[in-house]
Structure 1
Amino acid sequence: MNQLFLLHGNDPALKDLMANPLIRHGTHLPKSLSKDTVIIQWGNETRVSDEYKVLNSAHFIEKVADKEHMLKSLDHQGIHVQTPFSQNVHLQVFLVPVFHLKVLALYRCTLHTENVLYPQNEVSFDLRNRQHRLIGRYAIRVIYALGLDYGVVKLGLISARKCTVLDVIPTPILDHNMRELFFKAIRSYHGELIEERKRTKEALIGLDVEFLLRNDKGKITFASNYFNRKGKVGCDSVLNGNKWIFPIAELRPNPSKIPKQLTINIFKLMHFAQEQINDPSIEWLAGGMPVKGLPLGGHIHMSQIWLNSFLLRVLDNYLTLPIMLIEDRTSLLRRPKYGFLGDFRTQIHGGFEYRSLPSWIVSPNITKGVLTLVRLIADHYWDLKSRPLNDETIQAHFYNGNKEALYPYVKKLWSDLEGLDSYAIYSKDLQAFKKQLFDKRSWNEQLDIRTSWRISPFDTLPKK
């Protein structure tokens, strides 16, 4: 079965791609087109029904066409942009073609080619180069934040650690080099799409989740006092001036396909961590930012599943958005620098890491609920179609922490989840999470998480 349709505007540059017998194409959608078909919209202004999955829909391309609006949208999401009032001095300017979460190439602009769309001085893109990684991640984030799936991003490098967006071209004009890059990317995407639709293996779920240690004087105790950097219980670094310090503790349990088992794995590591610390007076804090300046994350690792933009957007809408409604207000402080929508990193060993969530190990019920939602999403993301976060107003509510305005949308999202075939299997494990969510009860990031997990010295408390 053909999984892809190229909806184009008769651009002669697409002639070679249209000659590919494996990819259907046309200037109009066939009436017989399956709703499972992914549509790549290129230079065609047709408004495609939300029933279809579309790369670069006309709706988002129209928004990007208003450059002032586009820059405001990016700025609101924590992405640095160039404005007429910016005083930035660019060390270098780059053009970065992106297709579906991947950088295709890197071009450096010289003073004489800065305003030329496609300069010829291509740079060999190398993920081992820290500057290249920065530019690549930023370009991918820009495309994703605008609701797009491909395009060319023009970035200015302000410092070794900071970029600014100069422009975004959602439907690039294809010269010879650019045509080859995008055609190869589309063919690769088509193959990955076919393989994913044939996949029968369940996704494997792993995680690394962070917490802080606070002594009886209210001061942070560095996790590196008790744990090595690596291992099932380790520590993570923070840059303090020019020095790396290791204040954050991290749990890295064995992965599993079963949410309950993952929760048990976390519980066992907590017991091990308590034995290593061996000081009952030291509190354990989780959440988004229980201590100002130290943002925490609960990163979900997924393997044996295709990393794709539809999956990422389902994770944003059906996982990150509901969790935001039970976060403490201090969690808001980590966004948008951390915890922004669609934050991911690929893993060297395969799979990817979804990084948008705060540290959700504040209680066993929330932990079990989060991991169960991940399981449902991994199994059914293709069927979950609501995208409230596509609306910029809803996005603004998310980043500004306006919970009350978001509850009606989350109720609809939860209704979608309850309509899944597998929901009944997991409904018991989601019951406490759902109740807290719709009772509008936020977690408290100042409470010692050992209390709810019954980790010593709280393991002798009577059960409620």
Structure 2
Amino acid sequence: MNEGIGVFRELSREQREERLRRSGLAAALEKESAEEGRERQGRELLLQNRASGMYRPRGNAESPPGPGSPQLCCAVRVHDLRPLQYRLTGAGAAMGAASVWRPAALPFPGRSAEAPPGPGERAEQGGETGPLLRRACRTAVRALYALGLDSGEAELAALGGGRFAVLAVRPATAGRDGRLPEPYASAEAALRRALAGEPGGRPGLLMGMDPEFLVLREDTGRVVPASRYLPRDGVAGCDAGPPGTRGLFPVGELRPAAQAAPRALLAQLRSAARLADRLMPDRRLAWRAGGMPLRGWALGGHLHFSGVQLTAPLLRALDNYLALPMALLADSRASGRCPRYGTLGDFRLQPHGGFEYRTLPSFLVSPSVAEGAVHLGHLIVARYEELQLRPLDSERAHRAYYAGDKEPLLAVFPALADDLRRLPGYAAAAEAAEPLFRRIEAGLTWDESEDVRELWRGCDIIDNSMKRHGGEPWQNTRQ
């Protein structure tokens, strides 16, 4: 638990704030007291000040409102990406004394933030803060993860518009007797039991995806809503777009059925792409993919996994061994997704019990990139315990990832590639992975200005790998 506790302790308060902001979170961290851990009496006084509306953190333009404002302040306890408990620590003058700890529940995706609380989700203050508390739980999980922690407590203050500022982060630590306090001890025991039941190599692993693409009219360069040609549902469909496009469903999306083997999933992806092509009889329409092929249009390549227990070490393995190499291959425009999209460790739980990894850009930019992402993603999730390198924990690499600065990432890539090559099962992924590794070493990146529709129309799967009838768009960034 808390494999990154050393990272957290090495960061100064200013560095922690900067890292949270890079990760898309507002932050106004409190200054720590000289003693390790505050006395209980002093902490309770701080909570009472918040409850009466007298507290206001300093040092951030997005600080919570001042005295008398009806803001929500709360604390959330998290264990390994899951919120365990929350308590209200202030909600303006109307709050009164700080509340007791209550069970927290992170709802399944697809539930609107405005939806009424479900079973086990209690709305406070007459139901007004129920949606805010659910968002607070998500913010707490993201804050701990961004600072290298798996488990601990985050204190938050509502900013308005469903956003929260992070006021404090405290890791969960064992007491002098070596035991974790509750509720962390029970949660850790349950996690260990779940992991003990997973067989080696995870033969029951299933993998799916829903990569996105834009539809453009080449002669005008204007986006054509995918909903004109593709249904909302189905393997070739459409999805919502950025703010300002509500109700139009302008983004195309391919949703092949989940499969146990990467090759089978890629065959389904090819079929979905060909179906989308047939549903668009106008040959003047081009497809664009990648991270941000047009300004303001961020695209994702989401991978779905089930048959595996989601853990923070698994997410960190995907970040370091998959998202980092993809960042090296990406067009420079792709970094524009961050931090609204493409943040490290971005995940969403699914109702079927699996999870969706949402960090990657759309790998539809090239059949070979899609092939490499699928094979490597499957291998990493199946064997993540054996992948222990965490270069993105360092400030230099973390900053470089969000800035789109490839040189610091390139310096750590060879060790990651060697680690992957040592894994049992890498031989099955090598034909897809090695071409991408060679392109990284040569300084090649994909070109998001190119039409990828023809690439997918002329793509077949032969001898376990995708074969393209025609060249792929790559550009040399070192010339």
Band of TM-score, shorter chain: 0.7 to 0.9
Alignment pair present for 1:217 and 2:220: yes
Deviation at 1:237, TM superposition (A): 0.9
Which amino acid is the alignment partner of residue 376 of structure 2? L
1:38-437 alignment, distance < 5 Å: 40=1, 55=2, 58-63=5-10, 66-82=12-28, 83-86=58-61, 87-89=63-65, 91-110=71-90, 111=92, 119-120=99-100, 122=102, 125=105, 127=107, 130=113, 131=131, 132-171=133-172, 179-196=181-198, 200-215=202-217, 216-238=219-241, 240-241=243-244, 243-437=246-440
| Pair 1:114–1:72, CA change in 2 (3 A) | farther
Query: Does the CA contact (< 8 Å) of 2:273 and 2:457 recur in 1?
Result: no
Deviation at 1:126, TM superposition (A): 6.3
Give, in whole Å, the separation in 1 of the partners of 2:4 and 2:446. 38
Query: Does the CA contact (< 8 Å) of 2:7 and 2:393 recur in 1?
Result: no
Query: Does the CA contact (< 8 Å) of 1:202 and 1:379 recur in 2?
Result: no
1:445-464 alignment, distance < 5 Å: 445-455=448-458, 463=470
Which amino acid is the alignment partner of residue 88 of structure 1? P
Give, in whole Å, the separation in 1 of the partners of 2:134 and 2:231. 27
2:197 aligned counterpart, secondary structure: helix
Percent of aligned pairs with the same residue? Answer: 33
TM-score, scaled to structure 1: 0.80
Q: How many residues align?
A: 402
2:207 aligned counterpart, secondary structure: strand
| Pair 1:359–1:163, CA change in 2 (3 A) | same
Which amino acid is the alignment partner of residue 192 of structure 1? A
Deviation at 1:404, TM superposition (A): 2.0
Residue 30 (structure 1) aligns with: none
| Pair 1:320–1:224, CA change in 2 (3 A) | same
Q: CA RMSD in A?
A: 2.7
Which amino acid is the alignment partner of residue 402 of structure 1? D
1:313 aligned counterpart, secondary structure: helix
Which amino acid is the alignment partner of residue 378 of structure 1? V
Query: Does the CA contact (< 8 Å) of 2:81 and 2:141 recur in 1?
Result: yes
Which amino acid is the alignment partner of residue 167 of structure 1? A
2:279 aligned counterpart, secondary structure: helix
| Pair 1:138–1:462, CA change in 2 (3 A) | closer
Query: Does the CA contact (< 8 Å) of 1:210 and 1:248 recur in 2?
Result: yes
2:183 aligned counterpart, secondary structure: helix
Deviation at 1:167, TM superposition (A): 1.0
Give, in whole Å, the separation in 2 of the partners of 1:248 and 1:307. 28
Gapped regions of structure 2 (runs ≥ 5): 29-57, 114-130, 460-467, 472-479
Deviation at 1:56, TM superposition (A): 5.0
Give, in whole Å, the separation in 1 of the partners of 2:200 and 2:348. 24
Deviation at 1:453, TM superposition (A): 2.4
2:213 aligned counterpart, secondary structure: strand
1:265 aligned counterpart, secondary structure: helix
Which amino acid is the alignment partner of residue 62 of structure 1? R
Give, in whole Å, the separation in 2 of the partners of 1:347 and 1:412. 33
Deviation at 1:279, TM superposition (A): 0.8
| Pair 1:140–1:113, CA change in 2 (3 A) | farther
TM-score, scaled to structure 2: 0.78
